[in-house]
Amino acid sequence: MTRALLPLFLALSPLFAAEKPPPPAPIQYGQGRLVATLANPEIDESSGIAASRANPGVFWTHNDSGDPPRVFAFNAKGEDLAAFDVEGAIHRDWEDMAAFALGKKSYLLLADTGDNDAERERCTLYLVEEPRLDPDRRGIRAKLRIGLAVDFRYEDGPHNCEAVAVDPTSRLVILVTKAIAFQCTAYALPLPEKVARDEVLVARSVARLKLPIVTGMDISPDGLRAVVLTYGHAYEYTRAADEKWDVAFARSPRALVIPARRQGEAICYGPDGVTLYLTSEKAPCPFFEVPAAK
C-alpha cells in the first residue's frame, strides 16, 4: 500500500470492521411467587436446584451436609417424582448443582464444595448423566453412576463455596466463594473429559465480586447470563457471545428482587433461559418462580 492511500484506508477501515454483538438486553422480571411446596419430606435442606435438560418440566435438588449422596426429582406442582442414590459419591458438603447439555446428552453436576472452616485441601465435582424419567410415574427410587469425579483445589488455598455453575458453551465451571465484607471471588475450572487417577485440578481466580454473602448461582442455557444468589437479592451478569466471564464480572450486576425465603441457597434458570426458580432450606421445602414480566 502506497503512502498516498494509507490515510484513506485508515479513514475507511472502521466502516468495514465487524461489529461486536452486545450483551443480551436486560430482562424485566415480574413479581416472584410461591408455586408449590415439595411433597417429599426428605428434602429438608435444599441447597442446590437445577432445571432438567432431559425431562421437560422436571427439576432437581439435593440436601446440604449430613444427607446421603442423592438427588431428588420433582415437577412444578412439587410432586415427588424420584430420588436417586449416587453410587460411589461422597456427600461431605454438597452446596450446589447444575444441569446442562453437551452434544446430545444431558448432565447434572454436583458440587461437594462446602468448607465452612476453609480447611479442605481439595473439593470434588461429580458429573452424572441425567436419567430419563417416565412423566406418569411417581416416587421412583433408583441409583445413578458417576460419569466423572473431578478433584480440584483453588490456586490460593481453601475457600468455602456454595455457588457453582456450568457454561455449556465452553465447558467452563464457575465457582463463587461465600465470603463476608463484599469479598466474594469467582474462580474458573475447565471441565475435563477425563481425569487421571489422583489428579487434582486447579481453579483459578477470574474476578472479585462486590456482593454480600453468595449462596448459589446458575448460568443460562445460552451461556450469556449468570445469576448469583445471596440471602437477600439475586444479581445478574450478562456478557456478549465473544466475551469471557472475567469481562462480564467486571461490570456492575443488576439487582433482582426475589421472594423472601427462610434460608435461600439455591437458584436456577428455567430451560427458557429467562424464568428463575428457587428453593429454601428447612422442611417443608418451598418452590418459588420469578417470571419475566408480560
Report pLDDT for 17: 47
**What's the pLDDT score for residue 16?**
45
Give the domains, in start order, of the chain with CATH numbers: 27-290 (2.120.10)
Is 279 in contact with 288 (CB distance < 8 Å)?
yes
Distances (CA, A) of 132 to 56, 75, 245, 262, 276: 10, 14, 32, 32, 23
Backbone CA torsion sign across 51, 53, 56, 62: negative
Residue 12 CB contacts under 8 Å (≥ 6 apart), including other chains:
none
**Is residue 253 within 8 Å of 245, Cβ to Cβ?**
no
For 188-201, b where at least 16 C-beta lie within 10 A, e where not — what string? bbebeeeeeeeeeb
pTM tops 0.95: no
Taking only the tens of pLDDT, the chain with its 294 residues reads 555 554 554 454 444 445 667 888 889 999 999 999 999 999 999 999 999 999 999 999 999 999 999 999 999 999 999 999 999 999 999 999 999 999 899 999 999 999 999 999 999 999 999 999 998 999 999 999 999 999 999 999 999 999 999 999 999 999 999 998 888 999 999 999 999 999 999 999 999 999 999 999 999 999 999 999 999 999 999 999 999 999 999 999 999 999 999 999 999 999 999 999 999 998 999 999 999 997
What's the pLDDT at 140? 97
CB contact at 8 A, 144 and 133:
no
Euclidean distance between CA atoms 189 and 58, whole angstroms: 27
Instruction: For cell 450486576, name the residue.
Output: 253
